[in-house]
């Protein structure tokens, strides 16, 4: 049933539900739009509403071909909504779910697009804070680029910052998606533009390898790896591309490239990967922690692209088993000190035996994982909705559809 959103918009059809609210296919004065209607309990939070209004100028002024534009912010009674461009396509997570990993040419082209969007955002003083495949949309109406990549756009600007209000997340807790969190966020420092570069480099690694460099297992262990461990080289990619990834995954924020520099370097490297097939590497097998988690009510989560989760916002239901946000206390310095057992999960060439396996012990030493004593972690889940996309990240209602499928057209 249609409902009015403010005086200018009508919401016709639900595209997805998530912890922060509901995304609708809507109609505005200039045609179809996507309307992200926040939950009523969020809309009734006066601190959040004030922050929402403060962000209005920055979000409305962010215009770039690689960014899903926010067209309006509506505050009307119990309604708090973001009105955005409607993108016909799918999200990058859905493509990864189908293909597991991409050809290097496609991966480089997609990440270069996103880096261009981030450069515009950072120049406007906007930090995304939640760059990940769920928040990268592929415009199926755009021209095919290198490796069969459709134009990529970054969405969900401002959502992480809105949720991360002092009343909803205490000062000693962090908000984000564990696999993509920069070390300085884990250490409790305020997020600046460099956190987006770290997250985007993690996405590039994932597109090439099929898994993230520090992911797998309990969220607390993932956070600790970001701070203490070094990324292990991916076999089969040009050294110039690998050095670029390493620089953008540097622990020190000042050592990372700026978004504009990253985009330019990726365009320069595109010819090196133009005809490369997808890499053939095996994901590292899960290793048990060296010590148990003390007083940990949450079991260790298995490796893999999907993990069970509970919602970030109290009272909301988990819509799928995909991670989006974790609310977790900041680990203390002693918990992040590292040690001789700390090591990132090492990718292997396809068919290579896992180090430490019974058949390979004579030639390798088992790598053991560090344990992290953490308080409980609350996860939010998300699934992309194929066909029409307005925002990525935390909005979902149906399983991802084939990217070639279009949503039904809306009457003008």
Q: Catalytic residue numbers?
A: 130
d(CA 52, CA 235): 45
Q: Where are the alpha helices (DSSP H) in 252-338?
A: 259-269
* Residue 186 Cα to chain centre, angstroms: 16
d(CA 142, CA 353): 42
Look-up of token digits 């009674």: 77
d(CA 13, CA 55): 27
Q: Where are the alpha helices (DSSP H) in 100-167?
A: 104-123, 159-163
Q: Is the dihedral of CA 274, 206, 350, 240 positive or negative?
A: positive
Sheet holding 323-329, edge to edge: 173-176, 323-329, 378-381
Q: Residue 367: phi, psi to the nearest 5?
A: -90, 125
Choose among 275, 139, 304: nearest CA to 210.
304
Residue 369 contacts residue 357 (beta carbons within 8 Å)? no
The helix or strand, by DSSP H or E, that contains position 92, with its residue range, turns out to be helix 92-99
């Amino acid at each position: 049933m249609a409902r009015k959103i403010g005086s200018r918009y009508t919401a016709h059809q639900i595209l997805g539900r998530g912890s922060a609210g509901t995304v609708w296919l809507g109609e505005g004065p200039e045609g179809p739009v996507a309307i992200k209607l926040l939950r009523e309990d969020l809309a009734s939070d006066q601190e959040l509403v004030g922050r929402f209004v403060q962000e209005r100028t920055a979000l409305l002024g962010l215009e770039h071909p690689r960014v899903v534009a926010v067209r309006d912010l509506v505050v009307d009674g119990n309604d708090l909504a973001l009105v955005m461009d409607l993108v016909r396509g799918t999200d990058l997570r859905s493509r990864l779910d189908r293909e597991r990993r991409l050809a290097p040419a496609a991966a480089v082209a997609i990440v270069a697009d996103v880096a261009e969007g981030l450069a515009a955002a950072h120049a406007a003083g906007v930090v995304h804070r939640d760059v990940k495949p769920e928040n990268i949309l592929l415009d199926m109406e755009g021209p095919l680029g290198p490796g069969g990549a459709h134009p990529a756009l970054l969405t969900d600007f401002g959502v992480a910052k809105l949720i991360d209000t002092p009343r909803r997340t205490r000062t000693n807790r962090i908000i984000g998606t564990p696999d993509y969190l920069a070390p300085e966020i884990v250490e409790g420092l305020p997020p600046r533009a460099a956190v987006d570069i770290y997250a985007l480099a993690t996405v590039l690694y994932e597109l090439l390898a099929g898994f993230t460099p520090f992911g797998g297992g309990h969220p607390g262990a993932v956070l600790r790896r970001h701070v203490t461990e070094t990324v292990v080289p991916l076999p089969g990619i040009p050294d110039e591309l690998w050095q670029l990834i390493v620089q953008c995954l540097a622990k020190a924020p000042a050592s990372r490239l700026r978004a504009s520099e990253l985009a330019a370097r990726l365009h320069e490297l595109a010819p090196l990967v133009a005809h490369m097939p997808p890499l053939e590497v095996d994901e590292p097998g899960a290793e048990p922690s060296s010590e148990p988690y003390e007083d940990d009510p949450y079991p260790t989560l298995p490796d893999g692209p999907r993990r069970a989760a509970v919602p970030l916002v109290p009272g909301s239901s988990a819509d799928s088993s995909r991670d989006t946000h974790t609310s977790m206390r900041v680990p203390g310095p002693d918990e992040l000190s590292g040690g001789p057992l700390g090591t990132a999960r090492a990718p292997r060439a396809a068919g290579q035996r896992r180090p430490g396996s019974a058949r390979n012990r004579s030639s390798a030493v088992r790598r053991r994982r560090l344990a992290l004593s953490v308080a409980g972690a609350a996860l939010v889940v998300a699934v992309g909705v194929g066909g029409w996309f307005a925002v990525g990240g935390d909005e979902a209602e149906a399983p991802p559809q084939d990217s070639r499928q279009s949503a039904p057209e809306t009457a003008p």
